Amino acid sequence: MKKIAAVILFATVSLVVHGQGRPAWLDGDFRQMGFPANEYVTGFAFAELPAGKSLQDAAAQMKTEAQADLIRKIHVQITSSLQIETSAVSQNRQYLETETFANRTTAESSAELTGLSTESFHDPATGWVYGFAFVKREDIANYYRRAIHQELGRAETAISLSKQLAEAGRKMSARTKTEKAKQIVDGVRAYRNLLVAIDSQADENGLQNDRESALLHTVERLLASLDRIATVYVDYRHEFRGGKDDAFDKDPGIFYDIVAQALSENDCIATDNREEADYDLTLVTSTSLRSDGTGEYGVLSYFANVKGSLYNRKTDLKTMDFTIFNDPVAYATGRSPDDAATRAFKLPALKDKVMETILPKIRE
């Protein structure tokens, strides 16, 4: 079960007694009768006052240990291990009713407690310091009922926002928000387990199973519809610049297949149907001569150039223009112009540069 810090939302009671009457809760029988298990959860701890340690610090430590003992009992109930050991366990001269929690705090708990009270007592005759913690089951149960209601409300808000983002063409953001909603709903199960552990008679009004099931169904449908970030119509053509800059005598169509594959690898779909697309991606490729191979050490090389624009069909807005021209990462050598240019268009660096340019806009 996930660990979330124990939050003490109610003013605790602190009692350190010197020479006054011993509190009744020091007696195990009284704790059982005065704080019956069907109404309360309790925790108890005691230890000798260490030499050199202040009474105030020791008392605070025992209250913390008593809280940890109380929380341990809730954990035992949650895991259906309902047999609470009442025998003391000794370790480093510290004692608890169930297990030593030395050097631990309630931050390790998966319970958030409201209505928790703690007390401490110092017996100057023996040097022992005691801690006692108690909380009403109904207080905890009410907190978990509210938590379930509030968390499911947060999930509903996230789902509503996800739908708005999807309608606006921001599918990546919509998916992120939907996944967040699923995490919230999944987290409600921890609160439900705690509620059932505290109140075995909890009903649908508190558990809200039906509401959770409906939300999970909605989340699954949304995630299925957002399985792909976006559908992209690629309007591709090759531009001839004239003279030696043209490595090809006809459009080779090389870069279209490269971009379509890259889109697929990034959870997008390249489509031939513009009407079903979320985005129009215009790509215009060209080549330019880098070196003509003349001279004693001449090498024939060409640049692969790409310019384009991205248009959001949902919002009817152009989101960007870009140009990659004579870029030092986008050239290659070859035995012939078309060989050199083909190699240049196949360079991973060119594809990556285009995708790094357009994907952030698609993923908004």
pLDDT means per 10 residues, the chain with 364 residues, are 39 42 91 92 91 89 92 73 36 45 32 78 92 91 90 94 83 84 89 80 87 92 76 93 93 91 87 87 96 84 96 90 96 95 96 94 80
Please answer whether residues 217 and 156 qualify as being in contact, where contact means their C-beta atoms are separated by less than 8 angstroms.
no
CATH for 139-225, options being 1.20.58, 1.10.1390, 3.40.50, 1.10.3470 = 1.20.58
Residue 285 identity: T
pLDDT confidence of residue 36: 94
CATH 1.20.58 domain position(s) in the chain: 139-225
CATH 3.40.50.10610 domain position(s) in the chain: 230-362
Distance separating alpha carbons of residues 319 and 201, to the nearest angstrom: 56
CA distances from 333 to 23, 53, 182, 257, 327 (A): 91, 78, 51, 21, 14
Distance separating alpha carbons of residues 59 and 188, to the nearest angstrom: 35
Tokens of 300: 């024939």
User: Closest by alpha carbon to 269, among 190, 362, 348?
Assistant: 362
Is the whole model's pTM more than 0.75, yes or no?
no
Report angle CA 351, 353, 356 to the nearest 5 degrees. Answer: 105
CATH topology of domain 230-362: Rossmann fold (3.40.50)
What DSSP line would sit under 40-94, residue for residue? Answer: EEEEEEEEE--TT--HHHHHHHHHHHHHHHHHHHHHHHHTT------S-EEETTE
